[in-house]
Amino acid sequence: MFENLSESARLYLKESIPKQLVSAVVRGLVPLEPKELLIVIAYHYNNGDEQVKTDALNTVKTLPAHAIDAIVSGDVPDFVLSFIYKNCSLSQVAVDSLVTNKNLSDEMFAELAKTDNESILELISKNQMRILKDDRIFDALITNPHLSKVSKDQLMEFFSLVASKELRKLNIKIEKKDAVSAGKASDLPSSVSQRADLPANLQKTGLPSDAAMLPSTVASQLPSDAGSGLPDNLIDNLPTNLILQGLPSELIDEQDEGENIDDGVRLTLYQRIQKMTVSQKIKLALLGNKEARTILLRDSNRVVIESVIKSPRITDGEVVGITNSRSVSEDIIRMIAANREWQKNYRVRQALAANPKTPVPIAIRLLETMSKQDLKNLSNSKNISSVVATTAKRMMGDTK
């Protein structure tokens, strides 16, 4: 750890050093250049009594800012970086250098992820490799209210991409979001032009584009192609099992069709999930099987539920079930409504239009893609907004 220090500096780090000399060191009364002096002071601060700590803090306050900037960007031990962060007034340059210093420990990195300093949080959130390798960092970031929504979304996108990569390597099926569940919805075509019972204007024009079908404020938030903004080779070059590591196989492997899970086993799985950290739940939400997703959909953390929706393994049938639920949050409804591929599934659009949690502008746009029978049902519904019901009734009148 101290091999690169001068012989003089190493002398002040010996355990046999007299107490009087320790006092002189922490008061800055020894002939050392600033970097070595700070290393020695930090060492004795961590190992000294209260008087040593007090003298050490008083001394570091006298160090010039440019000296601190140079030190945190150099090859110094982690305990020095920790000491500087906790006890020195840092410039933005120093903060940036400290966060990106390769010697900073994962433990300190996770501690920094709890800060309310948005600049530090943005820097930390961009270090995806380090976040992947230590759950403590991810937990601190994803639960930090000071991290911007944009950064959280980018972090979740990255994890979703890594999850898809791991699933492909393990030959675990990834659902195609534009496919209707096999054998269950053959009578529900993805294009309204195939429906003989639709209003004439829709039969001619077919299904409106995704952007046209949603309000501009929502359409502008539609997800871009997966992986945008990330280096092309970043995902493929990652080690395998960065996310899967530590997750129980019974929550990863899909059950055989028709196989039922014993209630006792389900309870055990539920209890295991409840003991997981937020980051572990998010990873399981992205990689887990249907049983894991079912349990996690009832989690109290909104980010965990959003991760279930973003799972590359989630099926259209599950999305329809979620959208039909009256307990689902409006945020989840918006996520589903903004997904390009799910909007190709008639059952998803039908469930969205009938859900009272769906924002009125989105529901009204979806009415344009409903069959006459569904418009009739919606116009008579007491469970949805009166505005939506009235609009459905008016649309029925327009088609007579």
C-alpha–C-alpha distance, residues 143 and 13, integer Å: 40
pLDDT attached to residue 232: 47
pLDDT attached to residue 235: 52
C-alpha–C-alpha distance, residues 99 and 96, integer Å: 5
Mean pLDDT lowest among 216-220, 227-231, 316-320, 357-361? 216-220
pLDDT band at 256 (very low <50, low <70, confident <90, very high): low
pLDDT attached to residue 366: 94
C-alpha–C-alpha distance, residues 283 and 248, integer Å: 12
The overall pTM is greater than 0.75: no
Q: What is the pLDDT of residues 20-70, one digit of tens each?
A: 999 999 999 999 888 889 989 999 999 889 999 999 999 988 888 888 888
169 pLDDT more than 60: yes
Phi, psi torsion values for 236, nearest 5 degrees: -65, -25
pLDDT attached to residue 224: 36
SS3 of residue 285 by DSSP? helix
pLDDT attached to residue 196: 42
Across residues 153-166, what is the average pLDDT? 82
Looking up tokens 């929502």 gives 218
pLDDT attached to residue 270: 85
Nearest to 241 by CA among 313, 315, 310, 168: 168
Q: What is the pLDDT of residues 98-128, one digit of tens each?
A: 998 999 999 999 999 999 989 899 999 998 8
| Residues 366/192, Cβ–Cβ less than 8 Å | no
pLDDT attached to residue 323: 92
Nearest to 214 by CA among 345, 340, 329: 340
Across residues 12-19, what is the average pLDDT? 87
pLDDT band at 245 (very low <50, low <70, confident <90, very high): low
Choice between 193 and 289, residue whose per-residue pLDDT is larger: 289
C-alpha–C-alpha distance, residues 45 and 50, integer Å: 9
pLDDT band at 216 (very low <50, low <70, confident <90, very high): very low
C-alpha–C-alpha distance, residues 287 and 273, integer Å: 14
C-alpha–C-alpha distance, residues 384 and 211, integer Å: 24
- Share the mean pLDDT of the chain: 79
CA distances from 139 to 243, 281, 343 (A): 14, 10, 32
C-alpha–C-alpha distance, residues 71 and 93, integer Å: 12
Q: Kindly state the tokens that stand for 298.
A: 């009832």
pLDDT attached to residue 229: 43
pLDDT attached to residue 217: 37
385 pLDDT more than 80: yes
Across residues 329-350, what is the average pLDDT? 91
Mean pLDDT lowest among 169-173, 239-243, 250-254, 307-311? 239-243
241 pLDDT more than 70: no
Across residues 136-148, what is the average pLDDT? 91
Sorted by sequence, the CB contacts under 8 Å of residue 388 that are 6+ apart come out as: 353, 360, 363, 364, 367, 378
Q: Kindly state the tokens that stand for 391.
A: 């609009």
pLDDT attached to residue 331: 87
| Residues 370/392, Cβ–Cβ less than 8 Å | yes
